[in-house]
Amino acid sequence: MTSDIAQLRQHAQEEASRFPALLARADQLAGTVLLGEHGRRRAGLGDDFWQYRPLRPGDTWRSIDWRRSGRGDEQFVREREWQIAQSVQLWVDGGASLRFASDRNLPSKADRARLVALAAAILLVRGGERVGLTGWALPPRNGDVQILRLAEALAEEGEADYSAPEARGMIPHARAIFVSDFLGDLDPIEAALTKAADRGVRGVLLQVLDPAEENFPFAGRTIFQSVGGTIAHETLKAGDLREKYLARLADRKARLDHLSRLTGWHYLCHHTNDSAQNALLWIWRAMDGGHG
Amino acid sequence: MTLLGPLGFTAPWLLLGLLVLPVLWVILRAVPPAPIRRLFPGVVLLLGLRDEDQVTDRTPWWLLLLRMLAVAAVIVGLAGPVLNPEEDGQVAGSGPLLVVMDASWASARDWRAEQMALESLLARAERESRPVALLRLTAPEPVQFQQAAVLRARLTGLRPEPWQPDEPQIATALDLLPESGFDSYWMSDGLDRDSRAPLLAALEQRGDLTVFESPRSLYALHPARFEEGHVRLTARRLRAGPETEVQILGHGLDPAGNPAVLVRAPLTFAGDATEAELDLSLPAELRARITRFEVEGARSAGAVTLPDDSLRRREVALIAGSENREGLELLSPLHYLHRALEADADILEGALSDVLPANPDVIVLADVATLSPAEAQGVTDWLDQGGTLLRFAGPRLAGSDVSRETEDPLMPVRLRAGGRSVGGAMSWGEPKTLAPFPEDSPFAGLAIPEDVTVTSQVMAQPDPTLASRVIAQLTDGTPLVTRKRVGQGQVVLVHVTANAEWSTLPLSGLFVQMLERLAISAMPATPAPEDLAGTVWQPVRVLDAFGAVGDAGTLPGVAGEDLLAAALGPDLRPGLYQGEDRSLARNVVTQETVLEPMMWPDSVPVEGLSRPQETPLSGWLLALAIALLLADVVASLALSGRLRGARAAMVLLLALAVAPVQGRAQETAADDFARAATAEVTLAHVLTGDARLDEVAGAGLRGLTQTLFFRTSVEPAEPMGVDLERDELAFFPLLYWPVTPSQPQPSAEAYAKLNEYLRSGGMILFDTRDADVAGFGAASPEGRKLRELAAPLDIPPLEPVPQDHVLTRTFYLLQDFPGRYNSRDVWVEAAPPDAELIEGMPFRNLNDNVTPVVIGGNDWASAWAVEENGAPMVRIGSGFAGERQREIAYRFGVNLVMHVLTGNYKSDQVHVPALLDRLGQ
C-alpha cells in the first residue's frame, strides 16, 4: 500500500515537473498574443455590463434597463453580450503517431500539439471563456485551476497508433479545437465533425505535421514502421514512393479542408519546424472570428 | 617468379581468384542492399502502395564496379606483385664472385645507387650461397671470399676515396687477384683510364665479367684561375649532351664568421659541349673569403675545387722616402716594385698613416729612414698582427742615424754609417755578385743570374744575431737581405735600393722571384715542383670523395715536390696544404684533367645503374583496396540515405574554426601584458609559487612604488608579478627576486631570457631573506638555492658594496642598506681592477654601467610592504628604531631604482668640478 502511494507520489512529481515547463511555455506563448493584438481591447471584459443601446423593435420589455431609461425619455437596453461565457472544448490527439520528430532539433508533434492547445486554452480562459476537453472527462470550466487540470489531462498519452476524437458530450453551440496529425482513419473524424455541426458546434482543425511527413525525404530499401509498431510497410525503392505518398497526403488535406468547410469549421496544416506562435495566432483569429 | 612485362608475381596462382569476380558480380547484383528500419507515422498513407519495379532494387553498376575493383585489388595484392623484379639471369652462375669497385672520386656521384646495386647483388649471392669478395681499386686489400651476409654487414661502411685507381693501385690489385675460378663484377666509375686494360684482361681471363656503370653525367670543376680581373672557373662534363645549366657555388665565411654560400652563379654547358667557362667578377674582399667552389648537387670531390692563395691578391702598400723626382720614372724608387707587383697584387699608395688602417698584407718602405713615433707605433702593432714590412735601403737610410747605435725595432739589423760602394769609378773593387742562397733561406733553390751585380749597399753591424738574420748575401759574405721576426710578422731589409741605382737586381727576374718567395706578390697558380723542393707542407683541410671538406687532423706533412707532382693517394689527399708562408691547394681535378668516358670492349656486358629498382606492389594494392572499400562505405551510406553529410562537414568545420581562435586569444594576452607593463615605469617581482611570499613581494614593491611617487620624479605604475617562463622581461627596469628553497628552477628558455635581460641593462635584486640567521653564503637553504638559481646566469664578478659605490648616493646618501634585517652583506658587480682613487676626488670612477645584480638577504620587500590602505604590513624592529630602519629601507629602494634608471649619472658627477673649471668659473 505504502509502495503504491510512494509510486503514485513519484509519478505525480515526475508529471508535475513536466507541467511547469509546458505551462510556462504555453503561458509565454499566450502572453505574446495578448500583448500583440488584443490586450487593451479586452480589458474590463469580466464585467457584466458591456454597453447601453437604444431599444430596437423586437426587444422584449424585460430587457429594458429601467434605471438608465428613467433618466430620459428613451428606453435603453443593457447589453450583456459577454455575460454568458462560451464553452470551448479541446481534443488533442494522444495517439502514438504524434510522438515523432524527424530531427533531434525539432519538437515532436505531440509536444507542439499540446503546447498550442494549452496556450489557446490559457488565452481563452483569460478571455473569460470556459475551456474543457471533449467527452466527459473534463467539462468546460473557467479559472486558472482549470488550466492546471487541462495540462494534466493533456499529458496523458494513448497507446494506440492513431486515435479518434471523442465526439460525445459536445455542448451545443460550443466551440471546439481539434489538434491532431489526422493521419489515422478519417471516418471517425468525419463522424465527429458532422455530429458537432449537428449540434451547432463550430471550431478549428489543426493538423500538426512533421517536415519529414511533408517532404518524404527517403530513398533506398526501407521498412517504414508506425511509432506504435503496429503497422509496417517495406519498400525497395523508397524514392519511387514519394510522388504517390505526397499525392495521398494532398488528398487527405483536401478532404479535411473540404470537410471543415462543409461543417463551418476552420482547417490549418501546421508544421513542427514553423513557429508555434503562427498556429496560436491562427487559432485565436479563427475563434475570434466565430465570436464576431 | 612469374613475369608479366616489368611485373612479377611471387604467388601467381592466387591470380586465379580473379576468375571469381564475374560470379561475385552476379551475386552482388542479385542481393539488394539491407533495408533500413524507420519510424514514420505517415506509413498509413503508404499502405497498399506497390513498388513499380518489381525486381529488387539493384546496386548501381558503379558501386558494383567499385566493389569489384576492391576485391580485384585484394587478390592481385595478395599475389605479391613486384615491379622490376631482379632477374635471375643477370649474374648467373655459381662459384665465387669478385666485386671490383673503382671507388674513386668519380664513383661518389652515384655511390648510393652503387651501394644499393651491390646490396641486391649480395642478397642474390646470399640466396645462391656464392662466396663473394670485395676489391676496391683505390684501396686494394687482399681478396678474401666469404659469405655474402658478412659483406652485407660491412656495406654501409664502404666509402669511395677521393682519388682514382692508377697504375700502382692496379698493380697491387693484380697481385692480389686469385689465380682463377671466379666471376667478376666491376662497378666502374665510367672514366677512361689507361690502367684499366691490364685488369680487364686479367679479370676476363679468370672468369665471366660484368660491368656496372652509371649513365649519369659527371661534372668536374677545374681549379679557379684569376685572369683579367675575373675569377675564371672551367667545368667539364663526361658526356656531351643537350644544353644544361648547373649552379656553381662559392662557399666561405660570411663577415660574421659563419659558413655561407657567398657566390652562386649559373654555368651553362652549350649543347654537345663538354666544357664550359664562367667568369665571376668578385670584389677582392669576397674573393679572399671564398674557401671552395663546387657544382651544386654534384656530390663528388671532382666537382669541388679549393682555391689557395692564388685567388687571394695581396694588398701591398708602397711608400717611398722621396717622391718628388718628376719625370724620372725609371729612377723612381717604386717603379720596379710597381712593375713586379701590379700583375698579382693590389697596390695601395699614400701616407703611411693612411694606409695602415687598410691593414695591408705588406708595406714596402723604399728608402724611408725615420718614422714618426705614432707611425712607428702603428707599424709595430701591425707587424705584431702578422704584417710584412719590406724596407729597401737608399741614400737617405744610409745617411741617417736609424738603427745605428741600437737596433731599431723596425730594422732587422744595426747599420754601419754610410754604407759602401764597390766597383764604382772611384773604388777599387769589382761589383759584387750574389752568393748562392743558403738552404734555410726562403730563396733557397732560386737560380742566380750572372748579370746581377751590386755596386752599393748599406752594411750591417756584425752582431751576434746577424748570422741568423741574413737570408741572402753577396759573394764576399756581406748581407744583401736580412730579416727578423716581430710578433707574428717580419721585417725584411734589402740592403740595396729598390731601383737600379745601387744594383742590377731590380732589373732581373730574380727580383720578382724573390718577392714571390717573400710572399709579397701572389705566386703563379701552380709553382714548379722544383721550386718547392725541400719544403714540407702540412695538410690543413682535406676533401673526401663526396667533396666534403674535413679537418686534416693528424695527417702527416707532404714534401713540396710530391705535393705538386705525385698522384693523389692515401699519402697525398686532395685538400689545402699550408707551407711556410702560403697555402697550396691540391685539387682532385687539375687543369690537365680530361674526362673521357670508358669504352668497354664488346665482349663485356655493361649494365647501367639506372635499372629501375625492385618495388613490391602488394602494399600499395592492399591500401588501394582499403581505400576503395572506404569509398564503398560512403557511397552505400549515401545511396541508402543514411549519410548525414552536412552534419559531418559541420563538425569538421567547427574543429577547424576552434583552433585559430585559441591562438589569437594567447596573442592578445601577451599584448595586454606588454601594454600594461610599458605604459609607465613598472617594478616587477618574480613569482615564486609561494602565495604568501608573492603577496609580500607585491606589497613591498607597492610600498616602494608609492614612496618613489611621493618623493621623486619617478612615478611608477602598479607593480606586477612576472612568470619567468611565460612573460617578457624586457619591459621592467628592476626585477625583485625573493629566494625560497622550494621554488622551481627556471627552464633553459627562461634563463636565456634572463641573460638577455641582464645583458641589455636590466637588474635583478636577489633577496635570500635570511640575514637574521645566516651570514651571506651557502650556510642557509636560501643561500644554496640562490647558488643553484644563479649558476646559469651571466653574472660578472661580485664584491660587497664598496663605500664609494654609486648606490650610496644616487638619491639619498646611504651607507647601510637595511630591509627587515640590517646586514651589511649586500653584493654588487665588482669594480674593475684598475679603478683607483684619483687625487682630490671623493669617489673612484667605477663601472660605467648598472650593476646587473644586487644580492643580499635583508628581506627588503617586508620592510617596504604596505597594505592596500597604506599601513605597513610587517613590523620592523621595535619602536622608533624600527621605523627608522624602515625609512632607511625605503631610501635604499629609492637609491636602487634611481641607480637602475640613471646608470652612472651620479658617478659622472665626479667630473663636475673639472667641467666647471674648464668653463672658466
Does residue A41 surpass a pLDDT of 50?
no
pLDDT tier at A45, thresholds 50, 70, 90: very low
Residues B723, B671 share a domain: no
A226/B639 Cβ within 8 A: no
Cα torsion through B548, B550, B555, B558, rounded to 10 = 60
Residues B426, B355 share a domain: yes
Residues 6+ apart with CB under 8 A from A82: A45, A50, A128
Residues B168, B105 share a domain: yes
CA–CA–CA angle A142, A146, A152 (5° rounding): 160
CA B641 to chain A, closest CA, distance in angstroms equals 6
What type of residue is B390?
Answer: L
Residues 6+ apart with CB under 8 A from A217: B641
Residue bearing cell 748579370: B451
Residue A243 forms contact with B (CB below 8 Å): no
| C-alpha cell recorded at residue B802 | 664598496
A252/B45 Cβ within 8 A: yes
CA–CA–CA angle B359, B579, B546 (5° rounding): 100
State which residue of chain A sits closest to B36, comparing Cα positions: A222
Answer whether residue B77 is part of any domain: no
Q: Residues of A with CB below 8 A from B57's CB?
A: 220-221, 236-237
**pLDDT tens-digit profile of A90-147?**
888 888 888 888 888 888 888 888 888 888 888 788 777 788 888 888 888 877 788 8
A231/B44 Cβ within 8 A: yes
Instruction: Say which CATH number the domain at B707 has.
Output: 3.40.50.12140
Residues B207, B322 share a domain: no
B33/A212 Cβ within 8 A: no
Compute the average pLDDT of residues A31-57: 55
Residue A234 forms contact with B (CB below 8 Å): yes
Residues B609, B573 share a domain: no
Element (H, E) at A190: helix A187-198
Does residue A34 surpass a pLDDT of 60?
no
Residue A288 forms contact with B (CB below 8 Å): no
Predicted ipTM beyond 0.85:
no
Residues B584, B485 share a domain: no
Residue A255 forms contact with B (CB below 8 Å): no
Residue A109 forms contact with B (CB below 8 Å): yes
A244/B35 Cβ within 8 A: no
CA B30 to chain A, closest CA, distance in angstroms equals 13
Answer whether residue B59 is part of any domain: no
Res A35: pLDDT: 40
Residue A266 forms contact with B (CB below 8 Å): no
Q: Which of B41, B47, B52 sits opposite A181 (nearest CB)?
A: B41
| C-alpha cell recorded at residue B533 | 723542393
Residues B737, B861 share a domain: yes
Res B775: pLDDT: 65
Provide the 8-state DSSP code for B614. P
Residue bearing cell 511533408: A214
CA A231 to chain B, closest CA, distance in angstroms equals 7
Residue B646 forms contact with A (CB below 8 Å): no
Residue A130 forms contact with B (CB below 8 Å): no
Q: Which of B482, B501, B517 is the last residue of a domain?
A: B517
B43/A226 Cβ within 8 A: yes
Work out whether strand B183-188 and strand B583-586 pair parallel, antiparallel, or are unpaired: unpaired
Answer whether residue B1 is part of any domain: no
3-state SS class at B819: coil
Instruction: Say which CATH number the domain at B336 has.
Output: 3.40.50.880
Q: Which of A219, A226, A233 sits opposite B41 (nearest CB)?
A: A226
Residue A108 forms contact with B (CB below 8 Å): no
Write out the DSSP string of B618-648.
HHHHHHHHHHHHHHHHHHHHHHTT---HHHH
Pair A206, A283: CB distance under 8 Å = yes
Q: Which of B453, B482, B517 is the last residue of a domain?
A: B517
Measured CA to CA, the distance from residue B237 to residue B303 in angstroms comes to 10
Residue A241 forms contact with B (CB below 8 Å): yes
pLDDT tier at A82, thresholds 50, 70, 90: very low
Q: Residues of B with CB below 8 A from A240's CB?
A: 51-53
Res A50: pLDDT: 66
Measured CA to CA, the distance from residue B567 to residue B590 in angstroms comes to 11
A222/B35 Cβ within 8 A: yes
Residues 6+ apart with CB under 8 A from B793: B751, B754, B755, B758, B853
> Which residues are registered as beta bridge partners of B735?
B684, B764
> Which residues are registered as beta bridge partners of B575?
B542, B586
Answer whether residue B739 is part of any domain: yes
Provide the 8-state DSSP code for B113. H
Res B704: pLDDT: 92
CA B70 to chain A, closest CA, distance in angstroms equals 23
Answer whether residue B815 is part of any domain: yes
Q: Which of A129, A223, A217 is nearest to A177 (CA)?
A: A129
Cα torsion through B904, B910, B912, B915, rounded to 10 = -100
CA A152 to chain B, closest CA, distance in angstroms equals 25
Residues B333, B308 share a domain: no
Residues B881, B829 share a domain: yes
Residue B33 forms contact with A (CB below 8 Å): yes
Answer whether residue B196 is part of any domain: yes
Which of B37, B45, B639 should we substitute to test contact with A (largest number of A Cβ atoms within 10 Å)?
Answer: B45
| Cβ pairs A/B, distance under 8 A | 105
Answer whether residue B417 is part of any domain: yes
Residues B756, B891 share a domain: yes
Q: Which of B39, B49, B639 sits opposite A100 (nearest CB)?
A: B39
Measured CA to CA, the distance from residue B526 to residue B515 in angstroms comes to 16
Residues B780, B724 share a domain: yes
What type of residue is A179?
Answer: V
Pair B24, B68: CB distance under 8 Å = yes
Q: Which of A235, A286, A241, A234 is nearest to A260 (CA)?
A: A286
Residue B637 forms contact with A (CB below 8 Å): no
Measured CA to CA, the distance from residue A143 to residue B98 in angstroms comes to 112
Answer whether residue B466 is part of any domain: yes
Res A36: pLDDT: 37
State which residue of chain A sits closest to B59, comparing Cα positions: A220
3-state SS class at B466: helix
Q: Which of B679, B705, B724 is the last residue of a domain?
A: B679
Judged on CB neighbours under 10 Å (0-12, 13-18, 19+), B228 is exposed
State which residue of chain A sits closest to B48, comparing Cα positions: A233
Pair B455, B421: CB distance under 8 Å = yes
Dihedral sign for Cα B711, B717, B721, B726, please.
negative
Strands, E, within B498-565: which ranges?
536-543, 549-551, 558-559
Three-state secondary structure string covering B350-379: CCHHHHHHHCCCEEEEECCCCCCHHHHHHH
Which residue ranges does chain A devote to CATH 3.40.50.410?
27-40+84-291
A27-40+84-291 belongs to which homologous superfamily? von Willebrand factor, type A domain (3.40.50.410)
Exposure on the CB side of residue B452, measured as CA atoms within 13 A: 19
**pLDDT tens-digit profile of A251-267?**
999 999 998 888 888 89
B39/A235 Cβ within 8 A: no
Domain that holds residue B178: 97-217+597-613
Strands, E, within A70-138: which ranges?
76-79, 87-92, 130-133
Which of B31, B36, B37, B43 should we substitute to test contact with A (largest number of A Cβ atoms within 10 Å)?
Answer: B43
Residue B647 forms contact with A (CB below 8 Å): no
Measured CA to CA, the distance from residue A61 to residue A76 in angstroms comes to 10
Q: Residues of A with CB below 8 A from B639's CB?
A: 219-220
B43/A100 Cβ within 8 A: no
CA A217 to chain B, closest CA, distance in angstroms equals 9
Res A6: pLDDT: 67
What type of residue is B851?
Answer: T
Q: Which of A220, A232, A252 sits opposite B640 (nearest CB)?
A: A220
Does residue A47 surpass a pLDDT of 50?
no
Pair B546, B115: CB distance under 8 Å = no
Q: Which of B33, B38, B49 sits opposite A244 (nearest CB)?
A: B49
Pair A194, A203: CB distance under 8 Å = no
Cα torsion through A8, A13, A14, A19, rounded to 10 = 130
| C-alpha cell recorded at residue B777 | 653564503
Domains held by chain B: number: 5
Does residue A38 surpass a pLDDT of 50?
no
Residues 6+ apart with CB under 8 A from B268: B243, B244, B245, B276
State which residue of chain B sits closest to A109, comparing Cα positions: B41
Q: Which of B339, B368, B417 is nearest to B379 (CA)?
A: B368
3-state SS class at B693: helix
CA A197 to chain B, closest CA, distance in angstroms equals 27
Tell me the mean pLDDT per 10 residues along chain B, length 921: 67 83 80 77 80 62 85 87 63 75 85 84 82 86 84 82 84 82 84 83 84 82 79 84 86 80 87 85 76 85 80 77 56 80 77 79 83 83 85 81 81 80 65 85 83 85 86 87 86 88 86 78 57 79 85 82 79 82 79 81 72 72 90 78 59 57 63 84 89 91 91 89 86 90 85 82 86 68 84 81 84 87 84 67 64 87 88 84 90 91 75 79 58
Q: Residues of B with CB below 8 A from A100's CB?
A: 39-41
A213/B42 Cβ within 8 A: yes
CA B649 to chain A, closest CA, distance in angstroms equals 17
